[in-house]
Structure 1
Amino acid sequence: MAQTAVQLNQLNAARNLVLGDAALYPQIVNGILPIVGANSRVELRRWGAEFMAETFSSPVLSVSLKEQLAPNVLQTIQDTLALPETDIAVLQALVQTAASLYPLVFRHIVNHPGDNKSWETMTMIKEDILRKMDSFPCPVKICCVKFLQRVVQVQTPGLISDPRRPEQNETSLAIVPRTHPVLKISYLEAEASGLLDRLLGVFQEELCDALIVNATLNCLSPLIRTRQSIANKIINTVLEFFPTRHVRPPFTPTVRVNVKSMERTARALLVNIIKKNQNHPYVGKMQIYIERLMQARLEEVEDASRKRAFPIEPTDGLDTAKRARLDALAPPLMKIPPMAPGPPSYEKLFTLTEDAALSSFDVTQLPIDLVVKITLPLLQRVNPSMLTQAIDAVRNRYESITKEQNLQRQQQQIATSPDDDEDDDYEPDYEPMDVAEGAVDERTPAAHEVADLQPDLVSLGPFVLPQPPPLSEEEAADVGRSAVARVFSMITLNETAPATNKGKTQQLGFSRLAGSTFDRDAWAVLLTRLATRAPAGLEPSGKGESAVASRRQTTISDSIRETLYRHVLEDFRGRLNIGIGWLNEEWYNDRVQMKAAAARRDESGEEEEPVVPLHYDRWATRLLDGILPYLDSRDIKVTVRFLSEVPEITIPITQRIASLAKDPERVNLCVQALMYLIMFRPPARELCLDTLEHVYHTYEESRPAAGKVLAKWRPQAIQATDEPSNGSSAQPADTQTAVSQEPST
């Protein structure tokens, strides 16, 4: 037992750690599994089951970490359930953990079909719970109801909110591929139908347990809201359930309370459905059911609820009218004398009697034990009304004394305020310590004596603060990152701050200074120039050990670029001007560095081509990769603005624009963006025509829109397609090499 107590203390300390830092959950969970397994004592098993239930239901722990930890705890749960366990707390926590784990394991198997062992273990746990459910005690059976609801919800098809983001869709049968090697859709759907019938079977039993019925009704609301395929079946079953038909006499108070609780839970479920969907086809039936539910109580229950017990005549706490009617005596009124004149004291404050002999008696002469023996019986027999009146009298005296003292204090301050103002005008003459000798001699002999007694302060010399220790590279990087974070906080603050003087703002254009104003654009320009122009010439050339060192550690300029990238992607439609300005600065800096490197090469006479680190191509394609997945067919203005204002159109950019044609809904967006570049950016016209020709040959959905553009700018491409040949979608070799490759991130 002592060892178990020590282990429990250690486990509680581990729980406190994870409650303070959720990142420690994987380490703690994997560490406690051998301690709280099936072979441990019941106290440790109870602690482990409760901790696992708390872990997998915690909103602090992310879903991805829960999905990673789920396969590790399955074997421990299975081994514990296989025991002839009789501890209700252990069984409750294990079933709750299984209810939380089932959606996580299901999604894990969908994404990792090779992990057959985890699914087999989860299936054995499910079968064990379903087999023992009827023999479990009532608290555990309520947890089993929640487990059944989770299984039915997972194994029933749900809605797909976004097919392009499967990781954000709800865990249901709809996310399982048709050709999944482990999960058989037909078998899982049939099993869910059978479990739903078992869940709803509680409403068809002759005698119902109110706790199980209420738990089932509470679990049906998520199924009705998220699973439309089974919602009507559940509502029809609830509409056929009347609690008064599932009870037997005698109608004791417990039976009446159970009936009322089931009626209220069923009524709350249907009212909630009607509020959320007033156009539901079963609204009329549900309203009729609610009315019948309110009228279907047994006559015995109604008669018992209408009867009132004979009132007990109280003797205190009533108003004057009730006292007169019930012949109750009114509480006696206590005569409170006025406070004695003179300066206030505690003796006068608490003296409530006019008896001079009693007031002059000194209680401090009595011993403490005798005072206690006298006070306790007196307090037990004191009249509460008299005690309340005495306390109120003392409180009123104290408040009046406090008000008088505050008033006197304010009057004194007002009377002394003119003298204080006169004193404030006084300024003594200041004489420095290093005065001339003549001035010292003019002073009195007493002043000479005081000067002789003072220490020689001039000899101490000036005080200089020591130099701070030099910063290491890591500390300097941290300081730089914190400064960048503060600047970004200013950008965010200016975005949320209300705009003032909207009609007086002036667009400064390209000639603006980075710090000319303190608005959002000024801070954005300052950051982009810190990232591009400040480290210009300091970056490694891409050769030798400097390049290797630069790849190992991130510079402050790269951290600014990464933060700018994330800042633009958080709201790319509202912050597109920041991204465009940043890319223009990157392109300008690349060209300046290339020109300077060429000049240095000509001066030195080297024949080797200089290597300059370029950033525009990398960040332009990365920013475009982050924006494209969130574009839809209505974002033509955003796409055209980005492509028209970036300084250079390159092959990777056109490749990513061509990738929009993979989605049939965004084919027109791709063609319109390329058509704009063909018409209004002549330097990139041929490159865009090659890309459009590739889109025309590759994606059949794009031919009606792309054919109109090619018919005007490159008609030979359409004529070559119309001619009968073995490969109707063939394109020139140079176009294939430039465009057909998939964009790489």
Structure 2
Amino acid sequence: MVEATDHVADQVAQLNAARTLVLGDAALYPQIVNGVLPIVGAHARVELRRWGAEFLAEAFASPLLSAAQKEPMATAVLQTIRELSEVPDQDAAVMKGLVQAVASLYPPLFRHIVKHPQDSTSWENMNAIKLDILRRMDSFPYSVRISCVKFLQRVVQVQTAGPIADPRRPEQNETSLAIVPRSHPLLSIPNLEAESSGLLDRLLGVFQEETSDTLLVNATLNCLASLVRSRQSISNKIVNAVLDFYPTQHVRPPFTATVRVNVKSMERTARAFITNVMKKNPNHPLAGKMHMYFERLMQSRLETTEDASRKRGFPSEPTDGLDNAKRVRLDAMTPPLLRIPPLPPGPLTYAQLFTLTEDIGLSSFDVKQIPADLVVKIAIPLLAQVNPSTLTQAVDAIRARLQQVTKQQNLLRQQQQQAAIGADEDDDYEPEYQPMDVSDNVSQEASAVAAEVADLQPDLVSLGPFVLPQPPPLTEEEAGEIGRSAVARVFGMLNMSETSSASAKGKKQQQLGFSRLAGSTFDRDAWVVLLTRLATRAPAGLEGDDSKTKGGSSSRRQTAISDSIRETLYRYILEDFRARLNIGIAWLNEEWYNDRIQMKAAAESRNDEQGKDDESPPIVALHYDTWVIRLLDGILPYLDSRDIKVLVRFLSEIPDVTIAVTQRVASLARDPERVNLCVQALMYLVMFRPPAREICLNTLEDVYQTYEESRPAAGKVLTRWRPEKMQSLSAQSSAETNGDGGAAPAAVAPA
């Protein structure tokens, strides 16, 4: 037995020599750790196991070793630590060292698993060790439980997403859940987050227990400081848990000196924790609650403990309701009588109602100049020192004043109501009274003055209905001016709605389509529809009557207003025709529709009057052909070769393409730079507007024959749609070229 003890002592001495060696050179830690693992295993003596657990905790907590050096060491010692932790009836010192070692090696092992997802054995060993510690944590001695608190803090810190300093250098980022890839085979992010949340609740549960242990509370507070600093996602939860913890509420009698020391220790640690949080973040959202927590800690001293340590004080005898003889025997002073000044006359303010002092300087002092928090701090000690009898007298005086003011106001209100009722009753009876001492001259002068006043002032109080006189009729010029001003106001609304729609361009708007009403909304489209229908449908049927009756005043007025709207619309569109092209298209569609409706109505009315045999066209004022040519003449001079979309959209959406329209488009070929614009627009109409195809092809032939620059582009279109005509045109152009002495051009081959 003695030889075994000496052998163990020799081994411990050799191990201490190895520890001294690595303390001098930290680079030898991997070699020494691998060498001592077989010696301090699960089957070794308890002395060797204690030394091995302490050495492992010291090695992985050493700041001289980097995280990259600790990763291979962590995987190498996991199996040994698992075997040591599973030894039955393990020594407390050994278990304390093992828990400290696991708490230190958990971050480098987690990073190793992130980098090497195929190392499932190491992760299984780590999970087994973690589950064993969590299962037996509450049954460990206090020294081991404090180490378990540190282990829980490390697990929560690693399994919570932390900040990423540089995504390009993941090896320099802090070990946290943020470095775990989404598709990791061993590490499931939702499971790890759930586990860390549960462990954090278990860590904070020490603040909610009925009786708190001082060592565990202080250890938990010290560990939570790093979590608050490094993990913003859970910092508010931790701070709120600490702010709800008051040490004086978690102790039970008897209040001994040890209990008082423990409470002061917990208060000091909690105060240091909150102070550290406020220093790191002065603008913390819970700063106000933290200040209240400090004041509550100051007020929640163990009053019962302090009172228990004092001697018994004087008996508290009531002084109110005692006779004078007993007052003398108890040396009780009679409470002073409070002098209540009378209320000033006239209307009162709240300040006068509640003022009980006659000191002018004190009553005129503005309390609003003092900060609210300072007022609270001053008022609480003052209220604690106020004599209850004096306070009762002051409250009774204010109550009496308030009752007196209320009675006076009710009495004054009743008098006003009675006076109003009496005045109404007096108005019902007005006797005619003529004093006898008034002379006839005075009555005659009064009647003369009354007659003069009646002549000067109209009789506005005569009985009967009052009817305003009819306004004078408007002349034709006045009516036209009023109509033009109304049109100008409507166009002002159009400009305003255009500005508002431009500011709200990013918002999604509902398209109402063809079934919309002109006044359904107040946007630009609603005003455009209203204007176009005022110009086209309001004077419908009046132009024909004007031609028959040679111009009545009403007809000319309405026609002038509609023409004014058309002219204003024309100028408004030309100001920015690219952005307002849709307004012009909508206007021309309304004009074309109105022309067709008027022609149909005129034909039906003429057939009803003259019979159905008359096939001559009805006489109707048409506007579409006039305004489409005017609008096209205003747009074409400003088009360039890049405006093909603008021209094609206009020609494709107007309701009718006439010969005059195609001739205006053909005029673009005069400019060599806009020849392609002309040909492409006509080609679009040929392809997608079959009713206008023949008109456009005829126009293309004229362009081909008139402008030589257009022949390459126009020839391709004519070759496709009119190949026979194209062959004759090519032969004719070749003959003309040969007759002029030039070389004959090659015939255009059909496409």
Q: TM-score, normalised by structure 2?
A: 0.40
Give the number of the structure whose alpha-carbon radius of gyration is greater: 2
TM-score (ref. length: structure 1): 0.41
